[in-house]
């Protein structure tokens, strides 16, 4: 699995800690981690709005399989990611949230709170969140007797989102303020991850036209 970590300006100082916990958990499992957001407070400036655009580009182009994002509360990043087609982002405060999202919703992104409740032992909570998010088979349901309706409802929800977002994906990007999109794709680590893994030429051409 290819996993993108993206952090915005308010929590960029914590990137090294979060990245360390994510790689510590996922690399032994054979996953690859791409640190595509801000790595410190002096890095290419991003808000949680940019994170949503970045996540949608990476997931819809199949450059990555999963996105880990967040902000101070985690709420803004979650809403920003979920606006976009092809992104199913859960809200995660503790390891049980990660486990239940993994098993019941089986989405492709998580939003964490990197300020709210981020106190003593916070790195341990982050590590355990990643363990529950990326260990074992996904989408098996919880409790087991509810697995079938949970899988069915998750599929229906994805179909509803596809029906609501009727426009062509590239059309949705082009309808936005293009300065927002340019900023979102402007980071060199994002570009490296995107262009090395993008499997949709039309999306690659659009991003290239912006940079």
* 133 and 53 Cβ atoms separated by less than 8 Å: no
pLDDT at 110 over 80: yes
Query: What CA–CA distance (Å, rounded) separates 118 from 175?
Result: 36
In this structure, what DSSP letter does residue 120 have?
T
State residue 162 phi and psi, 5-degree precision: -60, -35
- CA quadruple 70, 165, 203, 105: dihedral positive or negative? positive
Please give the pLDDT value at position 196: 96
Q: Mean of the pLDDT values across residues 69-87?
A: 96
Please give the pLDDT value at position 136: 82
CA angle, 195 as apex, 193 and 198 as ends, to 5°? 95
What are the extents of the domains in the chain? 2-210
pLDDT at 152 over 90: no
Q: Give the CA count within 13 Å in the CB-facing half-sphere of 61.
A: 27
pLDDT at 166 over 70: no
Alpha helices (H) along 74-144: 75-82, 95-100, 122-134
Instruction: Specify the 3-state DSSP secondary structure of 106.
Output: coil
* Architecture label for domain 2-210: 3-Layer(aba) Sandwich (3.40)
């Amino acid at each position: 699995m290819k996993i993108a970590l993206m952090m915005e300006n308010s929590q960029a100082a914590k990137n090294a800690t979060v990245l360390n916990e994510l790689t510590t958990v996922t690399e032994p499992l054979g996953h690859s981690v791409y640190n595509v957001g801000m790595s410190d407070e002096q890095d290419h400036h991003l808000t949680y709005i940019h994170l949503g655009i970045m996540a949608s580009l990476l997931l819809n182009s199949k450059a990555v399989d999963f996105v880990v994002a967040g902000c101070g509360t985690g709420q803004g990043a979650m809403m920003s990611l979920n606006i976009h087609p092809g992104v199913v982002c859960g809200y995660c405060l503790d390891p049980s949230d990660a486990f239940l999202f993994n098993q019941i919703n089986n989405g492709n992104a998580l939003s964490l709170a990197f300020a709210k409740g981020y106190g003593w032992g916070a790195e341990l909570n982050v590590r355990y969140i990643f363990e529950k998010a990326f260990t074992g088979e996904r989408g098996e349901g919880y409790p087991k007797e509810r697995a079938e309706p949970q899988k069915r409802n998750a599929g229906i929800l994805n179909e509803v989102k596809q029906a609501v977002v009727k426009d062509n994906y590239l059309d949705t990007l082009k309808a936005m303020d293009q300065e927002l999109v340019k900023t979102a794709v402007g980071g060199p680590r994002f570009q490296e991850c995107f262009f090395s893994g993008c499997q949709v030429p039309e999306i690659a051409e659009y991003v290239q036209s912006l940079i």
